[in-house]
A = this chain, B = another copy of it.
Amino acid sequence: MALVVQKFGGTSVGDTSRIKEVAGHVQFTHRRGSFPVVVVSAMGKETDELYSLANNVTQRQPGREMDMLVTAGERKAIALICLALADLGVPARSFTGSQAGFITDGVHQDARIQEIRPQRIQETIAEGIVPVVAGAQGVSGSGDVTFLGRGGSDTTAVALAHAIGAELCELYTDVSGVFTADPRLVPHARKISEISFGEMLEMTATGCPKPAMRSVLVARTYLMPLHVRSAFTWEPGTLVKDANFHQQEPDPQAQEAQTMERPIISAVTHDSSQAKMTLLAVPDRPGVAATVFRRIADLNLDVDMIVQNVSDEGVTDISFTVAKADLSVGIENMETIMAEVGGKGVTANSDIARVSLIGAGMKSHPGVAAQMFETLAAHNINIEMITTSAIRISCVVDESDMEQAVLALHSAFGLDKAA
């Protein structure tokens, strides 16, 4: 029987009636002829509440104890799902990350999966019992409980799906799929029926919040097809796989869409979670970038969109984006480094947003970049930074311009829903 991993996010299991509904869906899957393996996040805002409890106790929060604390959330959820399944007559058995065989490194609050030893899960499946696995957790080599971090349940699900040879990993969430833009910003955004791993990766890397980027990386590496779909409407969502782009319906409006070597724009993403830091007038000599980004790596900061551009005068500005939450620690460390290497100083701007156009073929069509910049200019939106990849162009703009930029680009590149 084909194995299907079904992962349910926090809002999907937000209260007991939702848990019953999820259990009903798992039962339905089983009856329909696939064997479900369930991965579940903590209920609703439970993880937030656990952090809040810790904050009320102390600000000194050693990672080991924090991981012990927050992983309690998923433990509750797996037990409740198993109870609800048993109530429906579906035999089920709960597993913590450790029990499910998730071996991770020892980086508390942000552990990486090193290996999965899924024997117990496989034995449970062989017994005809549905395994229900706690998301986002594992055990380190030294036997400590570890937490994979926010969004880690998606990664748990995809990695487990690969480890047990599932044919599909379904990620149930509170949205009905992946859209051509955030439907909250762009009311006429369209749900994407199929998208490739590469485009999905660029989308999650530039602001599309679900699925978690790490899980897309794992899916892409191991070619595990994902189905991102709603646990509320249960309608078909977005299939992430080696998408065969030409099977998507061409836009009848767009003449260009009819041609074979056309650029294919998939989506517009945005991200206002990042701030921009600029290291000013850094001496243009070997080793400066290495010093900067080794420090960044040691701080485990999630840096993105590195831009360095040497001017004539033997100095260079290095800019990069960093999570707004990490900005103060970033500035502090970079000021130290500027003092060491002799740079002029550090500036930061947290009122920025990145708007990205994702799609294939833009690299061989310089007109795509020109059209993107023209569209922004036509709306009087200034561009602060530009970076490009083979399937993406990103512009950093003022945060107040973000919404208009997304709307304008979505429309300019023919992504709007047919009227």
A interface residues (Cβ-Cβ under 8 A, vs B): 105, 112-116, 155, 159, 196-198, 201-202, 205, 213-214, 217-218, 220-223, 242, 244-246, 258-261, 264, 278, 280, 284-294, 296-297, 300-312, 316-319, 347, 360-361, 363-364, 366-367, 369-370, 373-374, 376-377, 379-393
Contacts and interface: CB of A to CB of B under 8 A. Distances in A.
Nearest to A163: B260
Given A246-B221, A319-B309, A384-B308, A366 B289 contact: no
10 contacts: A112-B259, A198-B391, A220-B360, A280-B312, A286-B381, A286-B382, A293-B366, A306-B387, A310-B385, A318-B386
A155 B364 CA distance: 13
Nearest to A242: B242
User: Looking at A245, A246, A278, A360, which has the most chain B CB atoms within 10 Å of its CB?
Assistant: A360
B290 A360 contact: no
Contacts of A278: 309, 311
A67 to B, nearest CB: 17
A321 to B, nearest CB: 10
B260 A218 contact: yes
Contacts of A280: 311-312
Contacts of A291: 377
A383 B317 CA distance: 12
Contacts of A307: 307-309, 385-387
User: Looking at A218, A366, A392, which has the most chain B CB atoms within 10 Å of its CB?
Assistant: A366
A318 B387 CA distance: 11
Contacts of A293: 366, 369-370, 373
A384 to B, nearest CB: 4
Q: How many copies of the shown chain assemble into the complex?
A: 2
Q: Which 5 A-B pairs have the closest CB atoms?
A: A389-B389, A287-B377, A290-B373, A114-B259, A290-B374
User: Looking at A159, A258, A390, A391, which has the most chain B CB atoms within 10 Å of its CB?
Assistant: A390
A122 B384 CA distance: 52
Contact of A382 (B285, B366, B386): B285
A290 B366 contact: no
B289 A386 contact: yes
Given A115-B259, A308-B383, A319-B309, A370 B290 contact: yes
A214 B385 contact: no
A223 B202 contact: no
A409 to B, nearest CB: 13
A245 B221 contact: yes
B310 A384 contact: yes
B259 A244 contact: no
Contacts of A366: 293, 296-297, 300-303
Contacts of A304: 363, 388
